[in-house]
Structure 1
């Protein structure tokens, strides 16, 4: 199969740059933006050799997995651009649910697949990491802010030995190709991009995100610099910060950090 945009994405004017293999779809998208590309354009591959996650961690997508990034140039502040990641995560979770219909028909009750969003950038299923998301922004010399939202999805294989166990769609019994998932993702993004509306619709996005949030009400530990904040994951605020309620009842906003839930929180806090 070859990559193609979904019908909604095509109608909305998105373009597509597909690669047999590429170092990083995010890097390629931002390089194109610096060269004058204004988007909206998707960059996609089934083999990424030097991708990056948060904090410059390597994110390699072996052949058959999906690495996809969307480039949008807009007139927003970096703080507003950061909230786009919540809409992007919702779009991908919605696409995953759509391609998992057949698998869920075979499953009963609590075994059904439900894709949840872990602050700030992961898609989880059955307590395991399925996807990692990265949003980057850079002011362009020709005007506007180039925002690139990228996500890597474990379709045929998942890394081993990660702090949070990882899984793949294949291991979950979802038999879908990278090309099929991407078409669903590109259409879902049109929907959630419209709701987000350059940040104006973040209140609605925030509510929808909290309905899919992983770990709300659970014990959490966040490594922030050289320290650790521990407590209960309370909510996210109107700017997208994670709110932790400490044992003393204080509500502490977290803008960035390494997040560990449940039993993993004990490891993260150590």
Structure 2
């Protein structure tokens, strides 16, 4: 198979640049943006050799995994643009649900996988990381932001030794290709990008995201900088920040950090 956009993505005006392999789809998208490309445009490969996740962690996609980035030029502030990551999580979760159901039907199975969203940017299967999302943005000469949303999904293989244990669709028994997943993802992105509506629809995105959130109401520890905040994961606010309720009843707003839930919370706080 080759990579192709879904019908909904094509109707919404998206274009596609597919690579046999590349260093980083995010880097490719940013380079094109600096050369004047404004999208909306997808950059995709099934083999990424020099990708990055949050905090400059390596995100390598061996042959058969999906590395994808979408470039959008948006007339919003950086703070509003950051909330687009929640729409990306919803789009990926929806795409994974759809392909897992289809794979189950093809194999005459009756069960499909369930996926959840971990703040701020991961998609989990159970307690294992299946995918990660990375947003990058630069100011364009016309005053808009060139926003790149990178989405990396473990289709055939998962890295070892990661802070959160990782898994792949293949290990979960979901036998699909990166190309099939991408087509479904491109349509789901067009759907949730429309709901987000340049930030005007973040209230609805927030509601849908919280319905799928991992660890809501559970013990959590967030390591940010040199400190750790512990308490209960209460909600996310209108800016997408995690709100933690401490044992003293204080509500603390967290903009970024490494998150540990449940029994892992004490380990994260150590």
Q: Same fold (TM over 0.5)?
A: yes
TM-score, normalization by structure 2 = 0.97
Query: Could you list the runs of 5+ residues in structure 1 that have no partner in the other structure?
Result: none
1: CA distance, partners of 2:115 / 2:190? 19
2:217 maps to 217
Give the deviation of 1:142 after TM superposition.
3.5
1:2 maps to 2
1:190 maps to 190
Partner-residue secondary structure (3-state), 2:5 = coil
1:258 maps to 258
Contact 2:222 2:268 in 1 (8 A): yes
Partner-residue secondary structure (3-state), 1:165 = coil
Query: Could you list the runs of 5+ residues in structure 2 that have no partner in the other structure?
Result: none
1:85 aligns with 2:89: no
Encode CA deviations 1:53-76: one digit per residue, 9 max, x unaligned.
Answer: 001111000000000000000110
Contact 1:164 1:264 in 2 (8 A): no
Partner-residue secondary structure (3-state), 2:147 = strand
Contact 2:101 2:113 in 1 (8 A): no
1:240 aligns with 2:240: yes
1:69 aligns with 2:69: yes
Give the deviation of 1:263 after TM superposition.
1.8
Give the deviation of 1:190 after TM superposition.
0.8
Residues 117-126 or 135-144, more deviating: 135-144
2: CA distance, partners of 1:218 / 1:104? 31
2: CA distance, partners of 1:40 / 1:141? 17
2: CA distance, partners of 1:232 / 1:206? 18
Give the deviation of 1:104 after TM superposition.
5.0
1: CA distance, partners of 2:162 / 2:225? 20
Contact 2:24 2:51 in 1 (8 A): yes
1: CA distance, partners of 2:179 / 2:126? 24
2: CA distance, partners of 1:157 / 1:169? 8
1:178 maps to 178
Partner-residue secondary structure (3-state), 2:190 = helix
Partner-residue secondary structure (3-state), 1:210 = helix
Partner-residue secondary structure (3-state), 2:49 = strand
Give the deviation of 1:107 after TM superposition.
4.8
Encode CA deviations 1:37-67: one digit per residue, 9 max, x unaligned.
Answer: 0100000000000000001111000000000
Moved over 6 A (4+): none
Q: 1:213/1:104 Cα in 2 relative to 1: closer, same or farther (>3 Å)?
A: farther
Partner-residue secondary structure (3-state), 1:51 = coil
1:169 aligns with 2:169: yes
Aligned CA RMSD, in angstroms, stands at 1.0
2: CA distance, partners of 1:104 / 1:253? 40
2: CA distance, partners of 1:245 / 1:36? 45
Give the deviation of 1:163 after TM superposition.
2.0
Give the deviation of 1:116 after TM superposition.
0.5
Partner-residue secondary structure (3-state), 2:171 = helix
Contact 1:113 1:126 in 2 (8 A): no
2:267 maps to 267
Q: 1:126/1:104 Cα in 2 relative to 1: closer, same or farther (>3 Å)?
A: farther
1: CA distance, partners of 2:226 / 2:110? 44
2: CA distance, partners of 1:237 / 1:11? 33
